[in-house]
Structure formats: structure tokens, C-alpha cells
């Protein structure tokens, strides 16, 4: 079996893994690094099937490129397929607005959906000489680990979370001969989740009681909905704005993926959805606003922060990984942001709460031991070598983008 990363090997972003066995070739993910302008994986190589792990852009953002010239069957859970569509359309809009070279168009997005083969967890599908089984990756609703089986079994995790969250149960290891696993948090462990949530709820209450507003910059997919659940029953006015609202509707109407649909629905019914500029101008009458974008490079969040710039009682609470060269990272490191081309220094309180949906170091090691493979291939990480000493009993490969290698 041959494996080649077209992106995402030694970096967090633009994951693209080509797996070849005799005459069957498949690709897992074909993502993007959503910088300005975006960074794409290496050009598409012909494959028979594309298997998508989940709907975050660093895994799915370049998929339509495949349908510009190449064709392949497109395998995903319904939840993943439904969630990615608004994000791809938004990428098209941004590219047109910013004048980036067009790498795919709306016809390619349509083609992608015409090639869709929807899958369910635990149900096998055949692609050439692979029989392929999808399992939950615990990362966001619909996220999938793919197991490719022939004489050997290869498990590809995509982004992985083994802990229970408000939305999902954690992923469970599946015995396999070869494991391709993400390593975003190699060398780092997370603060216990219940502790983070307790502190978060307490701080939100304090800010609001002192007369301030709390702004949560968040990903549309997963985090918006999870925060609504975390903040439920605080008896506050919580508003959600931006693309997360559309994703919430998709979660509502795509059954079978949430740990408790009832709890989810109850939390969402306690929030107010901001739609259009009319509502937006009154949105700060609420106590809390959850809105895109998660790394503060666009979306309604900048408008809200702009209005609150000098309000020391108000706060910006970040809850996700902030990639280098983003507004979010700059806010954490220097306290500054760029809004409409101007650098500003908000006087608002700033705090980070680690609600990561990625397994921490010890959980990654435990997961690898549970899968008990002969070979471990580490990807989607900037500090992969931090895992080597804890994985000494396995053959471990640290591939680089563009390098093809053989796995027995």
C-alpha cells in the first residue's frame, strides 16, 4: 500500500491523504488553509473515491477542485455533507469579493453533490478492492474515522476527540494494522473539561452582572451549537449571529448524530437568532453574542467588537485554536486586531477557554494503544515529534507533504 500526503502532513490545515492499493486509489479529505489568500494542497491526483472526515474547511475546503477536472465518488455522512455546503458557498463569495484566482466554481460544488454517496456509521461500503467502514470521530457532529480494509486494515482518524462533549460521545478505538492519526495537541494536555466549563459560566455571569457584554468569536460548525448548550439555563439573553445559525438549522434537521437531541433543542430554543442588519443593530441589547468568525478575520464578530472597543466592562472570550497570522492570534499575543484595515486595541477583557474538540497528548497515546497498530503515521500537527517517546513500542512515521511512502 502506498500513502502520499498532498497537504496537512507537518501542518495543521489543508489535509489531503492519498492511499493506493493495487489498482484502487482513494483520497481522504482535500482541505485548505483559510489564509488570505487561501493555501491549497498539491494539485489533485486521479482517485476513484474521496472520503471526507468532517466539514471543517481545513479538511473539506478544496474538495470542489476535484470536480473541476477530475471526478470521483464522494463519501460522507449526511451531517457532514449538509454542513459543508454553506461553507463552500461562503468561500466562493469571499474569493469573488477579495479577487482571489478562481480555483473552483459553483458548478463544481454542484458536481460534488451529484457524486455524493451518503454513509452511516458502522455500515460498510465498497470502493474498488477496499471495503470501507465509517466510525464516529467524536470531533463534531458527523465527523468520521475511515477504516480501509483488504488484506490489511488502515484507520484514518481525521480530527479526533475521545472525550465526551455536550454534543457528542468521544471516539472509541477500532483495532487496525495501520493508523493514520492527527497530532494537533502532541505534547499538550487540556485542562479538564468540566473545570473549563465551570469557569466559563462563572466568568460570563460576572461580566454580565457588572454591566458588560460577552462576545464569543466561534466556528459556525460545532462550536456555536456547543456554546449554546454550555450556556443554557444561565438565565441570560443569548444571541447567535452569522453562519452558525444556518448550521444550527442543519443540526436540527439531520437526525441521528447528537448525543442528546432533546438537550440540544432545549438549549437552542433559549437563544435568539440575529438575522439581517435591522436585528443586528439591536443585538447588543442581549447579554451574550455567539458569532463567526472563530479567528476574528471576518463575519459579524468584528462589527460587535468595533462597537464595544472602549468598554472595559465587556469581554471577548476565545474558545478555539487560533492559527498564526489571524486576528484571534494577534489579540491573544499583542491585544490588537485589524478591523477594516485599521489596527485597534480593544479595552475589553480578553480570556481564553480551552474547549478544544481535539484529543490532548495523553488521550492520543491512549487511543493509539487501543487501536494497537503495527504502524502509526502522524499528521495534522506542528510538533509531532513530541509523541515519539510515548509511542516507542510502535513503528512511527512522520511523513512530509509530497513524499510518497510504502506501508506493508
Q: Which three cell numbers stand for residue 242?
A: 452569522
Per rule CB under 5 A, is residue 4 in the interface with Zn ion? no
Q: How far apart are CA 255 and CA 239, in angstroms?
A: 24
> Is position 56 an interface residue for Zn ion (rule: CB under 5 A)?
yes
Radius of gyration of the chain (CA): 21
Q: Which is nearer to Zn ion, 87 or 274 (CB)?
A: 87
Cβ proximity to Zn ion: between 346 and 381 the closer is 381
Task: Identify the three-state secondary structure at position 63.
Answer: helix
Grid coordinates of 246: 444556518
Residue closer to Zn ion (CB basis): 170 or 303 = 170
SS3 216: strand
Shortest Cβ 163–Zn ion spacing (Å): 15
CA–CA dist 317, 331 (Å, integer): 11
Grid-cell match 447567535, residue found: 240
Q: Which is nearer to Zn ion, 18 or 380 (CB)?
A: 380
Residues in binding contact with Zn ion, number by CB under 5 A: 3
Among the listed residues 58, 163, 226, 287, the single contact to Zn ion using CB under 5 A? 58
Smallest distance, Zn ion to C-beta of residue 370, A: 21
314: number of Cβ within 10 Å: 24
Compute the least distance from the CB of residue 357 to Zn ion, in Å.
7
For Zn ion, the binding residues in 155-194 under the rule CB under 5 A are 159
Cβ pair 376, 388 in contact under 8 A: no
**Contact string (CB under 5 A) for Zn ion, positions 10-49, x = contact:** ----------------------------------------
Q: What minimum distance in Å lies between the beta carbon of 139 and Zn ion?
A: 6
Q: What string marks each residue from 291 to 310 as x (binds Zn ion by CB under 5 A) or -?
A: --------------------
Q: Which three cell numbers stand for residue 167?
A: 454534543
Q: Which residues does 41 contact at the CB level (< 8 Å), separation at least 6?
A: 6, 7, 8, 14, 15, 16, 30, 31, 32, 62, 401
358 binds Zn ion (CB under 5 A): no
Q: Min. distance of Cβ 55 from Zn ion in angstroms?
A: 8
Sites of contact with Zn ion (CB under 5 A): 56, 58, 159
Amino acid at each position: 500500500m502506498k500513502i502520499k500526503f498532498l497537504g496537512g502532513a507537518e501542518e495543521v490545515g489543508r489535509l489531503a491523504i492519498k492511499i493506493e492499493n493495487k489498482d484502487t486509489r482513494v483520497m481522504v479529505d482535500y482541505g485548505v488553509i483559510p489564509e488570505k489568500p487561501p493555501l491549497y494542497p498539491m494539485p489533485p491526483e486521479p482517485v476513484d473515491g474521496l472520503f471526507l472526515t468532517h466539514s471543517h474547511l481545513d479538511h473539506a475546503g478544496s474538495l470542489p477542485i476535484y470536480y473541476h477536472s477530475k471526478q470521483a465518488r464522494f463519501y460522507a455522512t449526511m451531517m457532514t455533507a449538509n454542513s459543508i455546503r454553506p461553507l463552500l458557498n461562503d468561500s466562493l463569495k469571499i474569493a469573488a469579493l477579495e479577487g482571489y484566482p478562481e480555483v473552483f466554481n459553483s458548478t463544481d460544488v454542484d458536481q460534488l453533490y451529484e457524486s455524493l454517496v451518503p454513509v452511516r456509521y458502522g455500515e460498510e461500503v465498497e470502493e474498488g478492492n477496499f471495503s470501507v467502514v465509517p466510525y464516529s470521530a467524536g470531533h463534531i457532529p458527523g465527523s468520521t474515522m475511515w477504516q480501509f480494509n483488504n488484506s490489511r486494515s488502515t484507520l484514518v482518524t481525521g480530527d479526533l476527540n475521545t472525550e465526551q462533549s455536550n454534543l457528542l460521545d468521544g471516539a472509541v478505538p477500532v483495532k487496525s494494522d495501520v493508523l493514520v492519526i492527527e497530532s494537533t495537541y502532541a505534547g499538550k494536555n487540556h485542562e479538564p473539561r468540566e473545570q473549563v466549563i465551570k469557569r466559563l459560566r462563572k466568568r460570563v455571569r460576572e461580566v454580565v452582572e457588572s454591566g458588560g457584554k460577552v462576545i464569543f468569536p466561534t466556528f459556525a460548525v460545532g462550536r456555536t451549537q456547543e456554546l449554546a448548550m454550555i450556556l443554557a439555563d444561565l438565565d441570560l439573553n443569548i444571541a447567535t449571529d452569522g453562519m452558525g445559525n444556518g448550521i444550527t438549522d442543519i443540526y436540527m434537521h439531520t437526525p441521528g448524530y447528537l448525543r442528546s437531541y432533546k438537550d440540544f433543542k432545549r438549549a437552542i430554543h433559549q437563544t435568539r437568532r440575529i438575522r439581517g442588519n435591522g436585528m443586528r443593530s439591536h443585538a447588543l441589547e442581549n447579554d451574550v453574542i455567539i458569532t463567526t468568525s472563530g479567528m476574528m478575520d471576518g463575519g459579524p464578530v468584528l462589527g460587535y467588537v468595533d462597537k464595544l472597543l472602549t468598554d472595559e466592562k465587556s469581554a471577548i472570550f476565545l474558545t478555539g485554536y487560533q492559527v498564526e497570522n489571524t486576528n484571534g492570534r494577534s489579540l491573544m499575543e499583542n491585544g490588537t486586531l485589524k478591523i477594516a484595515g485599521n489596527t485597534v486595541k480593544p479595552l475589553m477583557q480578553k480570556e481564553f477557554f480551552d474547549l478544544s474538540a481535539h484529543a490532548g497528548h495523553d488521550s492520543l497515546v491512549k487511543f493509539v494503544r487501543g487501536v494497537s497498530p503495527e504502524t502509526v503515521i502522524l499528521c495534522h500537527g506542528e510538533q509531532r515529534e513530541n509523541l515519539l517517546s510515548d509511542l516507542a513500542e510502535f513503528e512511527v512515521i512522520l511523513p512530509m507533504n509530497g513524499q510518497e511512502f510504502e506501508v506493508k
